[in-house]
Structure formats: C-alpha cells, structure tokens
Amino acid sequence: MGLLIGGLVGHYFGALRPQPSADLVPGTPMAVTIENPPEPVVVRTISDAGSVARLVVEVNSLPIVHHSGSCPADNGSYFLLHFLYSNHDQWTVHVDGTGCRLVYVEGTPPSSWALDSRLVEDIQALIKP
C-alpha cells in the first residue's frame, strides 16, 4: 500500500515539472551559424560535430512555455541559430539573450525557454573571438 501511495505522489509531482519541448531542431544538422544582432553583429559558423550536437540537444530539451506578459530585465538582445543541413536546408531558431530567454523557431510564437539552461552561456562561448 505504501508503495502505491509513493508511486502516486511521485507521478503527481513528476507531472508538475516542465516537460521538454517537441524538437525545435529536427534531424542532424552538419553546422550552425550563430548571429547576435543588433549592432555590432557577430556571425560565427560552427562545424564541429560535437558542438553542433550539444546545441541541438540543449535546444530540444528545453521545457515548453506558454508565454504571455512581460519579461523583467529584457534588453532586447537575442541570437539566431541557423542550423545547416547536408541537403542545403536551413532551420533558424531564435534565442532571447536576456529576460525570459524565450526560444522558438523563427516566425513562430515562443515555445520554450532557457531560464534554467546553459544554452545562452554556451552560445556566448561559441561566438567569443
């Protein structure tokens, strides 16, 4: 009986945790070009398979967010991650650099956030000169 109650309590609290988003980055990109507009724009293309795979895993494991409202400490900075594929397709993900750190496929509503993730710090490290 105690095991049953413990299982139900664990299931209940587990369901309260944010669930990972659906894959924002499909497939296996071969490179990623990172942009950080506005001025001065820094653009870096990363083709190291390990670095690209780590970014894909980080983005795809972010929790789903249903955002409405304002984000404190948002200065408007953001990154564009252009994931590049061997068939010459490109998939662009927008990552807010501050505030709620919303993450979404370019041209769609925000679907995830990177508040409790190292994603923004990892992007900053990759574009550092």
DSSP string, 40-90: SP-EEEE--HHHHHHHHHHHHTSBB----S--TT--S-EEEEEEE-TTS-E
Domain count, the chain: 1
Determine, yes or no, domain membership for 115: yes
Q: What is the mean pLDDT of the chain?
A: 83
Determine, yes or no, domain membership for 114: yes
Determine, yes or no, domain membership for 31: yes
Determine, yes or no, domain membership for 9: no
How far, in Å, CA of 73 to CA of 18, rounded? Answer: 22
| Calculated CA dihedral for residues 48, 126, 102, 29, nearest 10 degrees | -10
Determine, yes or no, domain membership for 32: yes
The 3-state DSSP class for residue 34 equals: strand
Determine, yes or no, domain membership for 95: yes
Q: Are 119 and 58 in contact (CB under 8 A)?
A: yes
Determine, yes or no, domain membership for 8: no
34-79 residue pLDDT tens = 999 877 788 999 999 999 999 999 999 999 887 667 778 888 899 9
80-95 residue pLDDT tens = 999 999 999 999 999 9
Give residue 121's domain range: 21-127
Determine, yes or no, domain membership for 12: no
Look at residue 16 in the predicted model and tell me its pLDDT.
42
- The model scores a pTM over 0.85: no
Q: What is the mean pLDDT of residues 115-120?
A: 89
